Amino acid sequence: MTANLLDFDLEGLAAFCERLGEKRFRATQLFRWIHQRGAADFDQMSDLAKSLRQKLKTTAHVEGLQVLSRHDSKDGTIKWLFDVGNGDAVETVFIPEDDRGTLCISSQAGCAVGCRFCSTGHQGFSRNLTTGEIVAQLWFAEHFLRKHLNTGERVISNVVMMGMGEPLQNYNALIPALKTMLDDHGYGLSRRRVTVSTSGVVPMMDRLGLDSPVALAVSLHAPDDELRDNLVPLNRKYPLAELMEACNRYLKHAPRDFITFEYCMLDGVNDQPRHAHQLIELVRHYGHGDSGKGPGKGVWCKFNLIPFNPFPESGLTRSPQNQVVAFAKILSDAGIVTTVRKTRGDDIDAACGQLAGDVKDRTRVGERIAQQRVVMLKPVRTFDVEAKETFKP
């Protein structure tokens, strides 16, 4: 088997070239051909010596992922489903905005965390993607979009690791992928424009801060451990106190002076005014770490409220808009920058948490979560008829 060069960051490619008896600068040329020009055919790489091209043909290849389908939304959002073999597929979404182009990338086929409100979580875990499979999503999308939009300019300016999977549970593959995104000879993205989103894998947050400190988003979803244990099962392993301290430590390395807390608004579950007040207390309590960026010393965190994208097995419903607005106002009034995420690509199921791909539920986790749901969630407000039916209190 020859090496897939998408698996290497520049360091790795330099080591590979050295093993072929080639100088390191050859790796830079090769890396630029692959990532900046989208080349996969060594014969195309005209400034590489013929002898090197010959060697590469017998030892290496550049192989992306096979596209199973593509969906184009009315709003310009594009979603691809990629085959990752063995019956598994992952999704990648391009979201164009006036001032940026964001690509939402998957890190795993399925996810082992099993959050209640996430369709990927309901599918269970199939396997980690390789570095090459993570990078291939960007490689393909960038060069496809340049052709599609008929431009020689860079199209993707931002990457968010918010597709399928928990990136920090696939750490070893993630790091070279991030390095390739950031490398000036690769995609040249700034650290502030690459965001890793995590459900809170505390030890790996610390390592990320040292190895590749990019922007960090933490999926919070609840202001106390009891509720978070239910919504994000990883909380049982890394409870809020530890998570908050890890956020504080991360801020010392972060390219931005805040962490983004993602908060998926679930009707009657975590969207009440008292939850907002609890959140304020939570970030105030832990926000005075020694990062020098705590409240009173500048912005420490930002909240991004995500409208829940419902799917039947979750047994959950989206918070009404007025509830979301009221919640946002409480946080904003306390001085916390709060945004409500726009839903994009709704007509093609491309929004957060809807990325279902096609992952075999080998662990039957979806069934288990569905069975547990009646006992797991306690209602937290006086229910209207609809909510009563949903939660069967």
Binding site residues, ligand SF4, CB under 6 A = 111, 113-115, 118, 120-121, 165-166, 199, 219
Kind and range of the H or E element at 135?
Answer: helix 131-148
Among 73, 102, 130, 219, binds ligand SAH (CB under 6 A): 219
CB of 24 to ligand SAH, least distance (A): 35
Do 139 and 192 contact (CB within 8 A), yes or no? no
Q: Does 77 bind ligand SAH (CB under 6 A)?
A: no
Q: Does 183 bind ligand SAH (CB under 6 A)?
A: no
Q: Which does 114 bind (CB under 5 to 8 A by kind): ligand SAH, ligand SF4, none?
A: ligand SF4
Residue of 35, 43, 227, 265 whose CA lies nearest to 135: 35
CB of 116 to ligand SAH, least distance (A): 9
Dihedral of alpha carbons 143, 148, 154, 155, sign: negative
User: ∠251-256-258 over CA atoms, to 5°?
Assistant: 60
Nearer to ligand SF4, 135 or 264 (CB): 264
What is the residue whose two structure tokens read 């409208």?
A: 307
Q: Does 170 bind ligand SAH (CB under 6 A)?
A: no
CB of 263 to ligand SAH, least distance (A): 8
| Number of residue whose CB is nearest ligand SAH | 353
Helix axes 321-333, 273-286, angle to 10 degrees: 30
CB of 342 to ligand SAH, least distance (A): 12
* Catalytic residue check, 91: yes
End-to-end CA distance of the chain: 57
Integer-rounded Cα radius of gyration of the chain = 22
Of the residues 111, 247, 301, 352, which is catalytic?
352
Q: Where are the alpha helices (DSSP H) in 252-361?
A: 273-286, 321-333
How far is it, in rounded angstroms, from Cα 269 to Cα 228?
A: 11
Of the residues 91, 133, 166, 262, which is catalytic?
91
* Catalytic residue check, 142: no
Residues from 349 through 388 that contact ligand SAH (CB under 6 A): 352-353
CB of 200 to ligand SF4, least distance (A): 9
Q: For residue 216, what are its two tokens?
A: 């960090």
Q: Which does 170 bind (CB under 5 to 8 A by kind): ligand SAH, ligand SF4, none?
A: none
Nearer to ligand SAH, 118 or 276 (CB): 118
Nearer to ligand SF4, 260 or 291 (CB): 260
Residues from 269 through 308 that contact ligand SAH (CB under 6 A): 306, 308
CB of 313 to ligand SF4, least distance (A): 13
Nearer to ligand SF4, 113 or 174 (CB): 113
Q: Does 166 bind ligand SAH (CB under 6 A)?
A: yes
Dihedral of alpha carbons 125, 94, 160, 236, sign: negative
Q: What is the dihedral of CA 35, 197, 167, 319, to 10 degrees?
A: -120
Give the interface size with ligand SAH as a residue count (CB under 6 A): 15
Nearer to ligand SAH, 212 or 219 (CB): 219
Three-state secondary-structure class, residue 340: strand
Three-state secondary-structure class, residue 171: helix
Do 370 and 124 contact (CB within 8 A), yes or no? no
Do 258 and 300 contact (CB within 8 A), yes or no? yes
Q: For residue 25, what are its two tokens?
A: 């600068």
The values of phi and psi at residue 237, to 5°, are -85, -40
How far is it, in rounded angstroms, from Cα 67 to Cα 65?
A: 6
How far is it, in rounded angstroms, from Cα 166 to Cα 129?
A: 11
Residues from 121 through 150 that contact ligand SAH (CB under 6 A): none
Nearer to ligand SAH, 27 or 306 (CB): 306
CB of 288 to ligand SAH, least distance (A): 25
CB of 308 to ligand SAH, least distance (A): 5
Residues from 189 through 208 that contact ligand SAH (CB under 6 A): 197-199
Q: Does 262 bind ligand SAH (CB under 6 A)?
A: yes
Helix axes 171-182, 131-148, angle to 10 degrees: 40
Q: Which does 264 bind (CB under 5 to 8 A by kind): ligand SAH, ligand SF4, none?
A: ligand SAH
Interface residue list for ligand SAH (CB under 6 A): 117-118, 162, 166, 197-199, 219, 262, 264, 306, 308-309, 352-353
Q: Which residues are catalytic?
A: 91, 352
